[in-house]
């Protein structure tokens, strides 16, 4: 924490890492649920209507959700250009593959509704595979980031674990979104998916929590030094309670009159926030773990001020119309139609 | 073996060329959609609504391709051009940031309401959403062209320790070439969208569509093109004069002028040769280039030899410029002829409709040619006078760049095929299906609700 005190006069990078953290978290939650829905698409012939409804539930939102990724990368580029080029060069190939995945799902979403009948299934497959590629590479990149871009075998194994964990987490939030947005048979199915994905995510979180401090001595020190240890233990405890509560709740869903159908999604969002703050806490104020902190990577003061003025004015407006859009499309998703 | 610099340049060119195709359509198409929807709100004429309903689907598809190909762009700077962000990140970062904040969220969020919310919000709110998307796409063009123009004609900055710092944001944004480039690009988008609308509508009519909506859209497109084409010639000329003032080596390459000349001819055709530093097979109009650029018949045009070693490659500039201008003139002639025919005969003759179909993507050709001229024309600089392209490239191994480039190219070819194929499908489908006014479609987006005979003939039509 000494760096923080030394740089106490220079608060702009701290503001920007906060903004970036918010953008990444918003991305993980928002695009998380639509990626999850993509992975969960059932591919049976008789499932076509369910696929339509599932995609309808994310239709009006996916584009704006993906914009949070552009904002996060944009903020990294604006505020911490040195870290931006360091990270993206290290992750060159996974980034390219993730982008292909994003392209696949983005276009499949539109093509599936417009192509001829015989191509629709192919585009649905493209959507599912594209979503899966995206989440796996994002998880892999998260693993690489945590491991300081280490290419040793153990690091790669950890990245594989992280790819699995992130994918499970996206499925978890995607399935919970479906519990909220669908009804009848599909909802019952979604409840089952949520429980399974929840258990897989729990496994992933536990594994990452065990491995991370073991391989990162800095993280170990930070986690297990009194008095911070009290705070650090609070996060996994709350997280664990969240998982268990959700599992118990899901066992009773769906209830009559659709009671409590929004609760699983809210709980998963809570778990995401907890995991994310745990991760942020492990590394702050480093922007590239062990290599570069936010003050070393920050861009010029006048640039940060210029963009901050815009952000302060525009971000509330963005939140307002995002809220408006979710209001317009509240309630259960029906089949998607381009009007 | 190709090195990382060449591969990165090819990859960037491939990515941005593929990307620009879609925004070029959507920037203006969204304003056209807003116009359709507004006319419907004002007149209650259902034909406007049908035209809107067909074109909004095309818009959604085109927009999606623009979004996904644009996301790749935002990663390119970091992955392939780290030197760019390290040197001019203080300028480029905030401009790109403002694009995300003011444009991307606006268009993405209201697009959801525009596409899926027509029954959930009052008609006026829906029209407002279309307006917000149109404003969003235009703002996006505003910011990205501010950055691009700054790279061409940088102002409002100082260099400290090899890193560029902004001294005046107003000068950075409103740099000398920005107003011309923005106007030129917005008009290009208008023309591209106009011919795109004309082409697909003409295709529908040729395939036997007897409905009013495609005729209305065709008329709108033709009138728009007829108005914008001469305007574009005027703005393009101003843009050229501005370039002549700030980047004379670019003009010299575009005009194929090697030695500084007084009363330079306007070359209609030539083959520039960088080895001998001269042109072969020149065909030109005497003194016209000087007259256009300096407004004096014997005005001086600095030649390429004044900038030896510091000017762009001549051939792509020379031909790119002629392709752009030629395409522009063809568009102007077509649009005016079309408006004349519409006035005289009320319906367009078949050969003219075929011409319009052939020109569906003429805007793409002109836009790409124009962008190649302006971007290649900046070489060897990435940011004029500040950073050379070769100094900004990534140290990543060529094999990695080769792999990513191959992946992108494969995806782009498939997408382009799927896009054009799907446009054709949608146009054919709309020949037989009314643009759903009252009844909900049984299976939206599929052809199952077609009468069987129609489907077979449409297959045959598709194969032909």
Residues from chain A that touch B77, judged by Cβ atoms under 8 A, are: 77, 84
Q: How far is A50 from chain B (nearest CA, A)?
A: 13
Q: How many residues does chain B have?
A: 464
- Cβ of B64 and A110 within 8 Å? yes
- Candidates A61, A81, A92; nearest CB to B89: A81
Comparing A124 with A300, the larger pLDDT belongs to: A124
DSSP letter at B354 equals H
Q: Which residue of B has its CA nearest to A68?
A: B105
- Cβ of A59 and B68 within 8 Å? no
Q: Which residue of A has its CA nearest to B88?
A: A81
> Span A158-179, mean pLDDT?
91
Q: How far is B288 from chain A (nearest CA, A)?
A: 45
Share of chain A above pLDDT 90, in %: 16
Nearest to A147 by CA among A206, A82, A213: A213
- Domains for chain A: give ranges and CATH numbers: 12-328 (1.20.1630)
- Candidates B93, B404, B448; nearest CB to A81: B93
- pLDDT band per the 50, 70, 90 thresholds, residue B278: confident
Comparing B332 with A79, the larger pLDDT belongs to: B332
- pLDDT band per the 50, 70, 90 thresholds, residue A40: very high
- pLDDT band per the 50, 70, 90 thresholds, residue A225: low
Question: Which of B76, B85, B440 to mutate against chain A (most A CBs within 10 Å)?
Answer: B85
- Cβ of A103 and B93 within 8 Å? no
Task: Tell me the pTM.
Answer: 0.85
What is the C-alpha separation between B18 and B15, in angstroms, rounded?
5
- Cβ of B408 and A71 within 8 Å? no
- Candidates A88, A93, A314; nearest CB to B403: A93
What is the C-alpha separation between A79 and A17, in angstroms, rounded?
8
Residues from chain A that touch B100, judged by Cβ atoms under 8 A, are: 67, 70-71, 74
Q: How far is A99 from chain B (nearest CA, A)?
A: 6
- Cβ of A103 and B75 within 8 Å? no
- pLDDT band per the 50, 70, 90 thresholds, residue B432: confident
> Span A319-325, mean pLDDT?
88
Say what the pLDDT of residue B451 is: 33
Size of interface A-B (CB pairs under 8 A): 235
Which residue in this structure is represented by tokens 């393009």? B236
Q: Which residue of B has its CA nearest to A115?
A: B422
Tens of pLDDT along B352-411? 999 999 999 999 999 999 999 999 988 888 898 888 888 888 888 888 888 889 989 998
Q: How far is B40 from chain A (nearest CA, A)?
A: 14
- Candidates A59, A78, A115; nearest CB to B93: A78
Say what the pLDDT of residue A338 is: 53
Burial A278-307 (b: 16+ CB within 10 A, else e): bbeebbbebbbbeebbbbbbbbbeebbebb
- Cβ of B60 and A67 within 8 Å? no
- pLDDT band per the 50, 70, 90 thresholds, residue B455: very low
Residues from chain B that touch A60, judged by Cβ atoms under 8 A, are: 112-113, 115-117
- Cβ of B67 and A115 within 8 Å? no
Lookup: tokens for A201 = 């995510």
Q: Which residue of A has its CA nearest to B437?
A: A339
> Span A250-278, mean pLDDT?
85
- pLDDT band per the 50, 70, 90 thresholds, residue B445: very low
Question: Which of B14, B21, B69, B71 to mutate against chain A (most A CBs within 10 Å)?
Answer: B71
> Do strands B261-262 and B300-301 pair parallel, antiparallel, or not at all (unpaired)?
antiparallel
Share of chain B above pLDDT 90, in %: 37
Say what the pLDDT of residue B222 is: 94
Question: Which of B114, B418, B424, B461 to mutate against chain A (most A CBs within 10 Å)?
Answer: B418
- Cβ of A70 and B117 within 8 Å? no
pLDDT surpasses 70 at A7? no
- Candidates B85, B89, B400; nearest CB to A93: B400
- Candidates A89, A99, A314; nearest CB to B101: A314
pLDDT surpasses 80 at B58? yes
Say what the pLDDT of residue A339 is: 46
Comparing B119 with B331, the larger pLDDT belongs to: B331
Residues from chain B that touch A73, judged by Cβ atoms under 8 A, are: 74-75, 78
- Cβ of A74 and B100 within 8 Å? yes
DSSP readout, B92-152? HHHHHHHHIIIIIHHHHHHHHHHHH-TTTS-HHHHHHHHHHHHHHHHHHHHHHHHHHHHHH
What is the C-alpha separation between B10 and B26, in angstroms, rounded?
25
Q: Which burial class, exposed, middle or buried, applies to A316 when counting CB atoms under 10 A from its CB (0-12, 13-18, 19+)? A: exposed
- Cβ of A85 and B85 within 8 Å? yes
Mean pLDDT in chain A? Answer: 83
> Span B186-205, mean pLDDT?
95
CA dihedral B361, B362, B368, B373 (to 10 degrees): 180
Q: How far is A329 from chain B (nearest CA, A)?
A: 7
Most confident of A71-85, A130-144, B420-434: A130-144
Lookup: tokens for B307 = 């900038």
Neighbours of B433 (CB within 10 A): 16
Say what the pLDDT of residue B147 is: 94
Q: How far is B6 from chain A (nearest CA, A)?
A: 17
């Amino acid at each position: 924490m000494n760096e923080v005190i030394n740089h106490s006069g220079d608060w702009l990078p701290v503001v920007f890492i906060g903004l970036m953290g918010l953008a990444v978290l918003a991305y993980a939650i928002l695009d998380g649920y639509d990626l999850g829905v993509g992975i969960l698409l059932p591919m049976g012939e008789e499932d076509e209507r369910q696929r339509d409804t599932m995609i309808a539930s994310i239709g009006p939102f996916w584009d704006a959700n993906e914009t949070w990724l552009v904002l996060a990368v944009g903020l990294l580029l604006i505020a911490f250009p040195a870290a931006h080029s360091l990270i993206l060069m290290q992750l060159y190939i996974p980034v390219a593959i993730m982008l292909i995945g994003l392209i696949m799902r983005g276009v499949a979403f539109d093509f599936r509704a417009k192509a001829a009948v015989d191509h629709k299934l192919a585009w649905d497959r493209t959507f599912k595979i594209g979503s899966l590629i995206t989440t796996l590479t994002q998880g892999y990149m998260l693993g690489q980031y945590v491991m300081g871009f280490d290419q040793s075998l153990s690091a790669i194994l950890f990245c594989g674990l992280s790819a699995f964990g992130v994918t499970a987490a996206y499925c978890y939030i995607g399935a919970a979104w479906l519990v909220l947005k669908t009804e009848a048979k599909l909802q019952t199915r979604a409840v089952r998916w949520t429980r399974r994905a929840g258990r897989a995510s729990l496994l992933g979180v536990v594994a990452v929590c065990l491995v991370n401090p073991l391989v990162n001595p800095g993280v170990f020190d930070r986690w297990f030094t009194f008095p911070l240890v009290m705070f650090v233990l609070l996060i996994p405890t709350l997280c664990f309670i969240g998982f268990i509560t959700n599992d118990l709740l899901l066992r009773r869903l769906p209830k009559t009159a659709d009671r409590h159908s929004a609760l699983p999604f809210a709980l998963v969002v809570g778990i995401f926030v907890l995991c994310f703050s745990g991760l942020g806490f492990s590394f702050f104020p480093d922007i590239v773990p062990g290599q570069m902190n936010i003050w070393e990577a920050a861009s010029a003061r006048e640039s940060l001020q210029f963009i901050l003025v815009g952000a302060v004015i525009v971000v509330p407006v963005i939140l307002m119309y995002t809220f408006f859009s979710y209001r317009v499309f509240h309630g259960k998703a029906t089949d998607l139609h381009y009007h | 073996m190709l090195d990382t610099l060449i591969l990165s340049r090819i990859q960037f060119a491939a990515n941005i060329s593929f990307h620009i195709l879609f925004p070029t359509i959507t920037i203006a198409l969204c304003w056209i959609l807003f116009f359709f929807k507004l006319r419907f709100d004002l007149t209650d004429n259902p034909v406007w609504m049908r035209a809107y309903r067909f074109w909004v689907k095309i818009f959604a598809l085109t927009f999606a391709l623009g979004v996904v190909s644009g996301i790749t762009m935002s990663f390119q700077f970091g992955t392939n051009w780290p030197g760019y962000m390290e040197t001019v990140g203080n300028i480029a970062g905030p401009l790109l940031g403002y694009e995300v904040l003011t444009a991307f969220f606006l268009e993405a969020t209201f697009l959801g309401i525009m596409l899926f919310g027509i029954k959930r919000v009052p008609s006026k709110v829906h029209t407002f959403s279309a307006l917000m998307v149109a404003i969003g796409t235009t703002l996006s063009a505003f910011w990205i062209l501010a950055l691009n123009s700054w790279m061409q004609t940088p102002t409002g900055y100082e260099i400290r320790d090899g890193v560029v710092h902004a001294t005046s944001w107003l000068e950075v944004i409103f740099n000398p070439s920005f107003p011309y480039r923005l106007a030129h690009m917005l008009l290009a988008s208008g023309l591209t969208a106009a011919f795109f609308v004309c082409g697909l509508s003409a295709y529908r009519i040729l395939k036997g569509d007897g409905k009013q909506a495609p005729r209305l859209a065709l008329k709108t497109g033709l009138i728009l093109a007829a108005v914008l084409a001469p305007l574009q010639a005027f703005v393009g000329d101003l843009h050229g004069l501005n370039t002549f003032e700030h980047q004379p080596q670019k003009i010299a390459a575009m005009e194929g002028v090697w030695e500084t000349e007084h009363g330079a001819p306007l070359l209609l055709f030539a083959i520039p040769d960088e080895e001998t530093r001269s042109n072969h097979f020149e065909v030109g109009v005497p003194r016209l280039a000087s007259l256009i650029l300096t407004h004096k018949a014997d005005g001086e045009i600095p030649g390429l030899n004044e900038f030896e070693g510091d000017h762009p490659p001549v051939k792509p500039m020379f031909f790119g410029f002629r392709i752009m201008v030629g395409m522009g003139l063809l568009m102007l002639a077509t649009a005016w002829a079309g408006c004349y025919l519409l006035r005289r005969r009320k319906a367009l003759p078949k050969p003219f409709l075929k011409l319009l179909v052939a020109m569906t993507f003429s805007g793409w050709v002109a836009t790409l040619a124009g962008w190649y001229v302006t971007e290649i024309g900046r070489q060897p600089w990435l940011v004029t006078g500040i950073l050379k392209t070769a100094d900004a490239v990534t140290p990543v191994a060529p094999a990695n760049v080769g792999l990513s480039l191959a992946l992108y190219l494969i995806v782009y070819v498939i997408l382009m095929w799927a896009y054009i194929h799907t446009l054709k499908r949608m146009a054919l489908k709309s020949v037989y299906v009314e643009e759903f006014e009252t009844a909900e479609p049984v299976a939206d987006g599929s052809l199952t609700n077609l009468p069987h005979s129609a489907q077979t003939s449409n297959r045959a039509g598709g194969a032909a």
